[in-house]
Amino acid sequence: MALFSFSGITSLISKLRREPEANANVDWNEIEQQLINSDLGPKLSVELVELLKKNSNASLEESLLELLGKDRDRDLVKNQNPNPNVILIVGVNGVGKTTTVGKLAHYLVAAGNKVVIGAADTFRAAATGQVSTWAINAGATLVSGKDGADPAAIAFDAVAKGFEIGADFVLIDTAGRLHTKAGLMDELSKIRRVIEKRTSVGEVLLVIDGTTGQNGLAQAQIFAQTVGVTGVVVTKLDGSAKGGIAFAIERDFGAPIKFVGTGEAISDLAPFEAAAFVAALISS
C-alpha cells in the first residue's frame, strides 16, 4: 500500500489547469474525505481542499511542503561544550522505540560519533538483551543494570560513562508506557531530573508509529506536557503507513519530525526530508 493515494488528485489538478470549467463538476467532498482517511486529519484536509479550489494553478507539492514546514530545523541538538549530547527517547508500548535507539546509534556511529546507550527500560524482561544486541551491532557502549533497577539511576550512570569515555552522544532507552498512566509518565520526569543533576538533556525524541493515525497526536501532547518533546521519530513508514500523520504532527503538535524509520534493518532510519517525502507521496 502506498503512503498516500495522491495520483488521482495530481491528475485532477492538471485537468483543472487545462480545463478551468471542469471545477464545477469536481466532488471536493469526496477528495476531502480521501485526505482525512489518509490520516491528514479534518482540519488540514479542509485547508488543502480550500487552497486547491481557490487556485487550481497552485502546486500540490508546494502546498504540501508548506503544511510540513519545509524550512524547519530538523538537526539533532548539539552542545557547544565538551559535554556529551544526551538524547532521551520516549514513546508508548510497541512503537519501535528500542529499535529506534539501535538504529539511531548506528546512524551516529557511522557519522564518526562515539555513542553510549543507557538501557533504562528495566521492567520488560527482554529489553536489556534487545538493546544490548543493537548496541553491539551499532558499535555503541552499553550501560545497563539488573531487571527492575531504578531507570533514573541507569540513565545517570550512562551519562557518567559518556563523560568518562568522551562520548559525543548518550542515548537513553526508556520503558514504553501508556500516555494515560500518570505514574509511569511521572517516572519519565524523574529520569530527566536525575540526568540534569549532571548535565542538560539536549533532545527528547518521541517515537510514534506511523500507522497510529490521529491517536498519535494525543500521545504526543501528553508526553510533551510531562517531559518536553523536541523532536519526533515516525516509524513504520515502509509502505504500510498512510503517512498523513506526518502533516498533523508538524502542524498540530509543533515539534519537528527529525527521523523516519522505513524498515527493519539497522540502517533503515533516515533524517526526515520534507521535499523528498512529499515527492514520494505525489508519485505514489
Sign of torsion, CA 189 191 195 197? positive
80 in any annotated domain: no
In a domain, 1, yes or no: no
Render pLDDT for 177-188 as a digit per residue (tens, 0 to 9): 765 566 778 888
pLDDT single digits (tens) 2-41:
344 555 666 666 666 677 666 667 778 877 887 777 777 7
Same domain, 180 and 40: no
151 within domain boundaries: yes
Distance between CA atoms of residues 110 and 268, nearest Å: 13
- Give the pLDDT confidence score for residue 44 in this predicted structure: 81
Question: Which residues are CB-neighbours of 6 under 8 A, at least 6 positions away?
Answer: 60, 281, 282, 284
Distance set, CA 182 to CA 32, 98, 154, 206, 249 (Å): 37, 22, 21, 17, 23
Does 92 lie in the same domain as 60?
no
How many residues can be counted in the chain? 284
Whether residue 153 is found in the same domain as residue 212: yes
Do 242 and 203 reside in the same domain of the chain? yes
Where a domain ends, among 68, 99, 118? 68
Domain-located, residue 2: no
Claim to verify: residue 209 and residue 119 sit in the same structural domain: yes
Look at residue 249 in the predicted model and tell me its pLDDT: 80
Exposed/middle/buried for residue 162 (C-beta within 10 Å: 0-12, 13-18, 19+): buried
Q: Check whether residue 106 and residue 222 sit in a common domain.
A: yes
State which residues of the chain have pLDDT below 50: 1-4, 240
- What's the total number of domains in the chain? 2
The strand order across the sheet containing 141-143 reads: 141-143, 115-120, 169-174, 85-90, 203-209, 231-235, 257-261, 269-271
Residues 45 and 132 in one domain: no
Domain that holds residue 125: 85-283
Same domain, yes or no: 63 and 187: no
Does 171 lie in the same domain as 49? no
Q: Based on the domain organization, do 62 and 99 belong to the same domain?
A: no
